[in-house]
Structure 1
Amino acid sequence: MKLKFLTTAAALACLTLGTAAHAETLRLSHQWSNTDVRNKVAEIVANGVAEADVDLEIQIFGSQSLFKAREQYRPLSRGQLDMTVLPLSYAGGQQPAFNLTLMPGLVKNHDHAARLSESPFMAALEEKMADDDVMVLVHGYLAGGFVGKDKCITKPEDVAGSQIRAAGKSFEQMLAGAGASIASMASSELYNGLQTGVLTAANTSSSSFVSYRIYEQVKCYTPAGDVALWFMYQPMLINKSKFESLTEEQQAALLAAAEKAQAFYLEEAKKEDASSEQVFRDAGVEIAQMSQADFEAWRALAQKHPTSLHRRSA
């Protein structure tokens, strides 16, 4: 009887150890607050794998608490970070092709953005990411607009003489061509830049304008509407080797949760533009609208002042 008990106990111990050996905790880093849509996307994935009960946990570190906004891709590619939600153009210095995910007028609307995520264009970018040991879990584009500290911005001549932040080389080149001075910084630094006078204007996503309370520092907001010049690819990424080290059940749970998160991301992205406009309006900020003629003027300017990346891609 004693021998039988010991044998049973040993079997249970081996089973417990075997289960524990597959338990994984993944660290996910991003730069936004817990009310931002990109944090909600992260939460959907984290909750999804928790509900799947496959010994997989995702810990979310928001508001740059783990890595600075522009410093996440490199540690991800080196296996020092497991997951991130990141504007891919932030990593354009490491992979110049990533700058293609933020080009003036490239994306027409949110449905077009969703189609781009399933296109040969995105497949080629994913090959670049795979070279860095990175893979996409959740595709997502967000639209954005302009803010002005002292005036409205709808057309190129409106930025002449301004000190402006733009995300991505293509936008910086275009805005410089319109006579603006460029200040390069992450969207998380916009509030301080506008508050201290380092910036007089900026463009970023509708979500970031609200998440970072930019309505407290500006006179006028030009939101993404029927005409949107600014679309930025901001996916959830995972270290490829880490994903491949997970069990089949853990991988399946992660992919299923990511699929739900991607559907949510697209629908919420569509809502963010209108809701951000209302937030700025309620805060007493003037609302301006970009016309189709304004849009065409910006695109013509972008074509007139192409970056070296554009020339290589032409």
Structure 2
Amino acid sequence: MKSMLKTAVAVMALAAATTSAHATELRLSHQWSNSDVRHQVAQIVADEVAAADVDLSVKIFGSSSLFKAREQYKPLSRGQLDMTVLPLSYAGGQQPAYNLTLMPGLVKNHDHAARLSHSPFMQALEDIMAEDDVMVLVHGYLAGGFAGTDKCITNPADMEGVQIRAAGKAFEQMLAGAGASIASMASSEIYNAMQTGVLQAANTSSSSFVSYRIYEQVSCYTPAGDVALWFMYQPLLMNKSTFEDLSEDQQNALLAAAEKAEAFYLEEAKKQDAASVQVFRDAGVEIAEMSPEDFEAWRAVAQDTSYKAFVEEVPNGQELLDMALAVE
């Protein structure tokens, strides 16, 4: 009897050891607070994976607590980090092709962004990621607009002689081409720069315009609406080898979670643009709209500045740009 009991205990111990050996914790890093939509996307993935009960968990390290904002791609590609929500253009230094994911005029609106995320253009970028042992779990773009202290900004003619802060190198190139003077600074510095007269205008994301209370310093806001110039691709990425080492059940749980998170991301991104409009309107700020004609005028400037520079600097840049522009 004692021997049978010992055997049973040994079997149970072995089973427990086997289970714990297959239990995997993935580390996910990002730079934002818990209230940010990008954290919420990560949380959906973590919650759905936990609910799937496949011995897999996702531990989220927000607010740059694990890696600095612009230093996440390299450890991800080396397998030192499992997952991250990252503006892909942050890794433009390692892979210049990624700079196309923050390029003026490539994306018209959120539905167009969703089509771009599942196009041959994005597949070409994912092929580049794969070379770095990186894959996309959740696609997502966030939009932005313009705000001016003295006037509305809807087309290139509005830029002549204006001191503006732009988000990203390609936008700086385009705005300078339209006659603006560029002041480079973090989005967190826009408020004080406007307050002291250093800036007359700014270009950033809808969420940053609200969170940094820019509505207190401007007379006019041009939000992302039916058309918008500023779209930034900010996916949830994963180390490819880490994903492939998971069991089939664990992989399926991650993919199902990612599908749910991506649908949420798209709808929430649209809501953030609309919410920003209401905040500025409530503050007494004039709301301007960019027309399709304005959009095409900006794109013409971008073609002579940002697009031209990208093609000159990036091998097969013209091919990648054409693939992006081909998405209707």
TM-score normalized with structure 2 length: 0.86
The aligned residue for residue 26 of structure 1 is 26
The aligned residue for residue 87 of structure 1 is 87
TM-fit CA distance, 1:200: 4.6
Whichever residue aligns with residue 310 of structure 2, its letter is: L
Residue 190 (str. 1) matches residue 187 (str. 2): yes
Partner of 1:308, secondary structure, is helix
Distance 1:57 1:76, change over 3 A: same
Once the two structures are superposed, what CA deviation does each residue of 1:247-299 show, in whole Å capped at 9, x if it has no partner? Answer: 22211111110011111112222222212111222234332222333222211
Contact kept in structure 2, 1:99 and 1:168, CA below 8 Å: no
Provide the C-alpha distance between the structure 2 equivalents of 1:210 and 1:55, rounded to a whole number of angstroms: 40
Whichever residue aligns with residue 229 of structure 1, its letter is: L
Once the two structures are superposed, what CA deviation does each residue of 1:213-265 show, in whole Å capped at 9, x if it has no partner? Answer: 44355443210112211222111101112212222221111111001111111
Contact kept in structure 1, 2:191 and 2:212, CA below 8 Å: no
Contact kept in structure 2, 1:90 and 1:168, CA below 8 Å: no
Residue 245 (str. 1) matches residue 250 (str. 2): no
The aligned residue for residue 177 of structure 2 is 177
Contact kept in structure 2, 1:37 and 1:207, CA below 8 Å: no
Distance 1:219 1:75, change over 3 A: farther
The aligned runs of 1:17-166 (5 Å cut-off) are 17-166=17-166
Contact kept in structure 2, 1:27 and 1:61, CA below 8 Å: yes
Structure 1: where are the runs of 5+ without partners?
none
The aligned residue for residue 234 of structure 1 is 234
Distance 1:76 1:215, change over 3 A: farther
Q: Percent identity?
A: 75
Of stretches 68-77 and 133-142 in structure 1, the one that deviates more from structure 2 is 68-77
Provide the C-alpha distance between the structure 1 equivalents of 2:66 and 2:166, rounded to a whole number of angstroms: 24
Residue 15 (str. 1) matches residue 15 (str. 2): yes
Whichever residue aligns with residue 75 of structure 2, its letter is: P
The aligned runs of 1:208-223 (5 Å cut-off) are 208-223=208-223
Partner of 1:147, secondary structure, is strand
Contact kept in structure 1, 2:70 and 2:91, CA below 8 Å: yes
RMSD (CA atoms)? 2.2
Once the two structures are superposed, what CA deviation does each residue of 1:88-130 show, in whole Å capped at 9, x if it has no partner? Answer: 1111111111111222221222222212111111111001111
Contact kept in structure 2, 1:149 and 1:194, CA below 8 Å: no
Of stretches 191-200 and 59-68 in structure 1, the one that deviates more from structure 2 is 191-200
Contact kept in structure 2, 1:194 and 1:201, CA below 8 Å: no
Distance 1:63 1:120, change over 3 A: same
Provide the C-alpha distance between the structure 2 equivalents of 1:135 and 1:86, rounded to a whole number of angstroms: 12
Structure 2: where are the runs of 5+ without partners?
319-328
Whichever residue aligns with residue 276 of structure 1, its letter is: S
> May I ask how many residue pairs the two structures share in their alignment?
311
* Structure 1 residue ranges (4+ consecutive) displaced by more than 6 angstroms after TM superposition: none
Whichever residue aligns with residue 304 of structure 2, its letter is: K
Residue 277 (str. 1) matches residue 298 (str. 2): no
TM-score normalized with structure 1 length: 0.90
The aligned runs of 1:296-311 (5 Å cut-off) are 296-305=296-305, 306-311=307-312
The aligned residue for residue 292 of structure 1 is 292
Contact kept in structure 1, 2:143 and 2:206, CA below 8 Å: yes
Partner of 2:32, secondary structure, is coil
Partner of 1:279, secondary structure, is helix
Contact kept in structure 1, 2:187 and 2:204, CA below 8 Å: no
Distance 1:259 1:163, change over 3 A: same
Partner of 2:80, secondary structure, is coil
Provide the C-alpha distance between the structure 2 equivalents of 1:65 and 1:136, rounded to a whole number of angstroms: 22
Partner of 1:144, secondary structure, is strand
Partner of 1:204, secondary structure, is strand
